[in-house]
Amino acid sequence: MSKVWPTSLPDRDWQFKQKESVHDLLSRMTLAEKVGQMTQVEKNSISPEEVTEYAIGSVLSGGGGNPMPNMPQEWADMVHGFKEAARKTRLGIPLIYGVDAIHGHNNVVGATIFPHNIGLGATRDADLVEQIGRITATELVATGVRWTFAPCVAVPHDLRWGRTYEGYSEDTNLVAELGAACVRGLQNTHGAQAVLSCPKHYVGDGATTWGSGRSYDWIIEQWPAADHDWPIDQGISEVDEATLRAKHISPYIAAIEAGAMSIMVSYSSWDGAKLHAHKYLLTDVLKNEIGFHGFLVSDWMAIDQIDPDYYTCVVASINAGLDMIMVPFNFRRCVSTLTQAVENGDVPLERINDAVARILTVKFALGLFDEPSRNEHPISDIGAESHRQVAREAVRKSLVVLKNDDHTLPVPRNMKQILVAGQAADDIGLQCGGWTIEWMGKPGHSTPGTTLLTAIRGVVSPDTTIDYSPDGHFRGADEMAEIGLVVLSESPYAEGTGDRADLTLSAADVALIERVRPHCQQLVVILFSGRPLIITDHLEKFDAFIAAWLPGTEGQGIADVLFGDYPFTGRLAYSWPKRMNQIPLKGMAESGEDPLFPFGFGLA
């Protein structure tokens, strides 16, 4: 496998010097320093002084783990403080700071927020995805962050899963192609502009079975918020090994070939074991057979699910092949437990040395040892206009027209009156979805951007009247408008909170459509969602229907194609089911009916 990050040294010389540097550094490290490198702590649970004291190797911001105020300069100052603390350790091993930048630097107010992966899958544009990765890296580096837990290369097969929108497609080949493109974009930049990618979640998280998720009493005792009881997220992947390899492991091979040097392990289980304790899949398959030379990091508090006894969790996960433990809360317990396990002989020192060598190798390759003490990249890169223009392009290319009777689309911009209904038409939070500023996302003006309503007002003729009603009440209208636009949306969610047994349109959405339909000659429905929803019984009321997914901050991209400045080019990356019995994907075949719209469908 070729080297990922550019260097002025010839490859052979560079690899030799790196190997020698890792060997030399490892030989001088104490057990405490090695354990510190294997520990990643959430920023709210550790101080910079403790980073120095425990020689911690990585700090992260979880979803919503922001400085106050949540602004770019405050982010840069916060990350710099932790990095400087690591420089003060005995050996000065640099710290790597990680975030979930899964559709842009989405924790930071003012960052460019791109469409979620489900929308990018509809573009089928690997070059665009690579460019988005490059821009995301630029905005991350501006705050000193050099690691993102992305891309998600899950292959979702059950639309009820709350992480469906994090997957590019139900099609393995498309996921592999776009996931590799994202890795290249994040990493194949020059010097200190490169950001470490982290494909996730290895492996089979998109194949879990509805009803197989569970909560863990011993975790809830420590963290009451862990009482999730999610039906499918973090559940059991009930597929045979041939299917697991062909459909779910292959995107990781593509990502590794593209240069991925860190991978996050899945909460899910396969063949009777949690992935975090699955030595066969982590070590035998991924590291030995596939030849992954980077390091494996756990998910948030994920090793705790292995067993009620924390010592057993640590021993089982590290011996299985995990290299770095993400510890959101009690990092001292993790440090002391892993130290004790080595001293007791339950975790071999050779396994510790292998894990730390992998982590150090990546830090050398990323150039962290030569990184300036203070970030030299301008804060003005965050949310830059050129970045927003690429996001706007991504929105345009992600939109999929599923119905367009009587050439309703594109909408003429010189109409006398246009009705616009739905809270989502003028709500950045609903437009962006989950993993935006906060873990779950939220409605409202959470970050700068352009709503669809604002975009429409900016492109129509000065003689066109735009009547907007969030609830669709257009009382007192003397005549029918030529066009009515109804914008529907799912409420923002992330991970298992989005697990949803029934994907039919809500009663409120149906009522909104019913209120607007009598007031317009033609009705266009635009849906913001993290997955296809069941619309079969209502489709006849629409003259046109657009799947807009979760487009992010640049609503102008919708207006660009809605009014004909650009053509619609998006095609479905997921089959659109006709009824709930066609979910999960195998239900499509078992139902004996065609989907409402097949994979790859999209009207031009």
Active site residues: 299, 495
The span from the CA of 579 to the CA of 534, in Å, is: 6
b/e per residue, 405-429, with b = 16+ CB within 10 A? eeebbbbebebebbbbbbbbbbbbb
| Nearest to 122, CA basis, from 561, 455, 581 | 561
DSSP structure class, residue 600: T
The span from the CA of 248 to the CA of 342, in Å, is: 33
Q: Which residue has the tokens 């783990």?
A: 65
Q: Which residue has the tokens 């139902």?
A: 591
Helices (H), 126-284: 126-142, 172-187, 217-222, 241-243, 250-257, 279
Q: Which residue has the tokens 């911690």?
A: 56
The span from the CA of 204 to the CA of 208, in Å, is: 7
Between strands 400-404 and 544-549, the pairing is antiparallel
For residue 533, give both structure tokens: 């929803």
DSSP string, 456-481: HHHHS-TT-EEEEETT---TT-SS-E
10 Å CB burial of residue 288 (0-12, 13-18, 19+) is exposed
- How far CA 57 is from CA of 39, 333, 362, in Å, comes to 6, 16, 12
- How far CA 427 is from CA of 328, 435, 505, 534, 555, in Å, comes to 31, 16, 19, 23, 10
The span from the CA of 460 to the CA of 422, in Å, is: 19
| Nearest to 492, CA basis, from 415, 423, 581 | 423
Cα maximum dimension of the chain: 83
- Give the contacts of 505 (CB within 8 A, at least 6 positions apart): 488, 533, 534, 535, 538
Between strands 325-327 and 39-42, the pairing is parallel
Give the 3-state secondary structure of residue 26. Answer: helix
